[in-house]
Structure 1
Amino acid sequence: MASIHDVAKEAGVSVATVSKVINHYPDVSEKTRKKVKLAIARLRYRPNVIARGLVTGRSWTVGVLLHVPFTNPYVSMLLEGMKTALEHSGYDLMRLSARLNDPDYSFIDHCHSRNLDGIVVFGVEKDHRSIQELIQAGIPTMFVDTDATGLRAGNITTDNRNGIRMAVQHLFELGHRRIAYLAGVPGQDVNELRLAGYREGLGAFSLAYREDYVVDGDYSYDSGFQGMNRLMELDVPPTAVICTSDMAAFGAIRAIEARGFTVPGDISVVGFDNIFETELFKPGLTTINQNIHAIGVKSIEELIAMIKDPKYPPPVVTEPSSLVIRESTGIAKVIT
């Protein structure tokens, strides 16, 4: 089995230079980097992870805490983006389980026991005890869709408010004036931002905000189905509905169809996320696109930047959102 000394000899460089290339240090010329990588490939050299950790003081492992169902398509797209960013980084990804509702449980101890260099968190609110402990502990952390920051903690999210405002504008331009909203979990950052965007969108077109047109849910298909049923039982039901997720939108459409109505003939529906299934669903779903893959990539890139440089300022990144128009929205039958 080849050693790091064999690689150095093959490439005609020092052992220190080989180590820098393996550990992704920037102060190596591209020409030298290519020579070392070619020697590594030719000799089939595999770095000793334990020895590497002793030299660098790192475990070369980052954790991801996803406090949402893994059946959610958003999660698979987010993880795919993380995987892309990790492929040539030298880091491995560890999925973390956490008993966040157990008062005797310490998430920080859990992380320390696994000697993690950094953590990505999705689906846990910033005021949760475990999250506050994580921020205060100073472990490099990136939050996804949670407005949390600290000395070593940053966050990345989509432009949620503007995304929903675009959805309101699209429906208004189609003649809709009775626009409802199937919301997410009250209190969560992403939900509050999207709800604010809905209210701002209505206000921009002088449309009244109606409490009965807003139904809380949990981003799932079932909550969309149930929420839409509640809206359709109103004395004056909406002609259009914006959903806080694509999965909720799928449920809403099926609820409309189950009552003998059509989308978009009777009611227009807009989702949020632009998951892969939106193009396959019938009718094709008009939705707010958030580049989930890019969010996954950027969360890891920024996390690694914080790990490598203790002085790297914790980033606050907002990815733009955009409207993708498909078949689930159409001209309102009656403008009222």
Structure 2
Amino acid sequence: MASIHDVAKEAGVSVATVSKVINHYPDVSEKTRKKVKHAIARLRYRPNVIARGLVTGRSWTVGVLIHVPFTNPYVSMLLEGIKTALEHSGYDLMRLSARLNDPDYSFIDHCQSRNLDGVVVFGVEKDHRSIQELIQSGIPTMFVDTDATGLRAGNITTDNRNGIRMAVRHLFELGHRRIAYLAGVSGQDVNELRLAGYREGLEVFSLPYRADYVADGDYSYDSGIRGMNMLLDLAQPPTAVICTSDMAAFGAIRAVEARGLSVPGDISVVGFDNIFEAELFKPRLTTINQNIHAIGVKSIEALIAMIKHPGDPPPVLTEPSSLIVRESTGKAKDA
């Protein structure tokens, strides 16, 4: 089995230079870096992770806590981005399970016992006890879609408000004046930002905000059915509905069809996420695109930067959103 000394001899460099390349130090020329990598490949050298950790003071492992059902298509796209970013980073990934509702459970102990260098968190609200402990602990952390920050904690999210405003504009330009909103979980950062975008969008076009046109949900298919049925039961139903997720939009469309109505003939529906299934669903879903894969990639890139440069301020990143127009929206019947 090849050693680090064999690699250094093969590449014609010092052992220290090989160590710098393995540990991704920036002060190595690209020419030298390539020589070392070629030597590692030729000799099939595999660094000793334990020894590497003793030298660098790192475990070279980051954790990901996703407190959302893994059946959610958003989760698989986010994880794919995370895996892409980790492929050539030198870091391994550990999926974390957490008993966040157990008062005797410490998520910090969970992370520290595994000697994690950093954590990515998705689906847990910033006011949760465990999240506040994590922020205070100093463990480098990137939150996805949660507006939480700290001395060593940053976050990344989509431009949620502008995404919903674009949806309102699109529907208004199609002649819709009775535009409803199928919301997510009340109190969650993402839901509150999107709801704010909905209200702002209505205000731009001097459309009244109606509390009965906002149906609570939880981003799921079933909540889309429930919310749309509630809206359809109103004395004056909306002609268009913006949903806080694509899955909820799919449910909303099926609820419309179950009433013998059509999308977009009778009611237009807009989703949010642009998951893969949005292109395949019938009718093809008009939706707000958030680059979920890029969010996964950038969350890891930002986390590793925090680990490597502990003195730098943690990043707060916003990924732009865009409107994807497909078949589920059309002109209002009374336009």
What is the TM-score when the length of structure 2 is the normalising length?
Answer: 1.00
1:189 to partner: Cα distance: 0.4
How far apart in 2 are the matches of 1:157 and 1:314? 14
How far apart in 2 are the matches of 1:130 and 1:110? 11
How far apart in 2 are the matches of 1:228 and 1:115? 47
Matches within 5 A, 1:208-219: 208-219=208-219
Instruction: Please say if 1:298 is aligned against 2:295.
Output: no
Instruction: Please say if 1:158 is aligned against 2:158.
Output: yes
Q: Deviations over 1:235-292 (max 9, x none)?
A: 1100000000000000000010111110000000000000011000010000000000
Q: What one-letter code is carried by the residue in structure 2 that aligns with 1:251?
A: G
How far apart in 1 are the matches of 2:321 and 2:47? 41
How far apart in 2 are the matches of 1:319 and 1:313? 19
How far apart in 2 are the matches of 1:331 and 1:191? 27
How far apart in 1 are the matches of 2:120 and 2:262? 41
How far apart in 2 are the matches of 1:5 and 1:221? 57
1:134 to partner: Cα distance: 0.2
Per the alignment, residue 78 of structure 1 pairs with: 78
How far apart in 1 are the matches of 2:146 and 2:332? 35
How far apart in 1 are the matches of 2:14 and 2:182? 61
1:313 to partner: Cα distance: 1.2
1:333 to partner: Cα distance: 0.3
Per the alignment, residue 318 of structure 1 pairs with: 318
Matches within 5 A, 1:210-289: 210-289=210-289
Instruction: Please say if 1:109 is aligned against 2:109.
Output: yes
How far apart in 2 are the matches of 1:19 and 1:88? 16
Moved over 6 A (4+): none
The residue matched to 1:272 in structure 2 has which SS?
Answer: strand
Per the alignment, residue 120 of structure 1 pairs with: 120
The residue matched to 1:279 in structure 2 has which SS?
Answer: helix
Q: Deviations over 1:298-318 (max 9, x none)?
A: 000000000011112100000
Q: Deviations over 1:49-73 (max 9, x none)?
A: 1111011000000000000000000
Q: What one-letter code is carried by the residue in structure 1 that aligns with 2:243?
A: C
Q: Deviations over 1:134-171 (max 9, x none)?
A: 00000000000000000000000000000000000000
How far apart in 2 are the matches of 1:145 and 1:324? 21
Instruction: Name the % identity.
Output: 90
Matches within 5 A, 1:49-88: 49-88=49-88
Q: Deviations over 1:105-134 (max 9, x none)?
A: 110001001110000000000010000000
The residue matched to 1:115 in structure 2 has which SS?
Answer: coil
Q: What one-letter code is carried by the residue in structure 1 that aligns with 2:26?
A: P
1:33 to partner: Cα distance: 0.3
The residue matched to 1:283 in structure 2 has which SS?
Answer: coil
How far apart in 2 are the matches of 1:46 and 1:248? 47
How far apart in 2 are the matches of 1:290 and 1:313? 25
Q: What one-letter code is carried by the residue in structure 1 that aligns with 2:293?
A: H
Per the alignment, residue 171 of structure 2 pairs with: 171
Instruction: Please say if 1:330 is aligned against 2:330.
Output: yes
Give aligned pairs, total. 335
Matches within 5 A, 1:127-206: 127-206=127-206
1:179 to partner: Cα distance: 0.4
How far apart in 1 are the matches of 2:222 and 2:94? 30
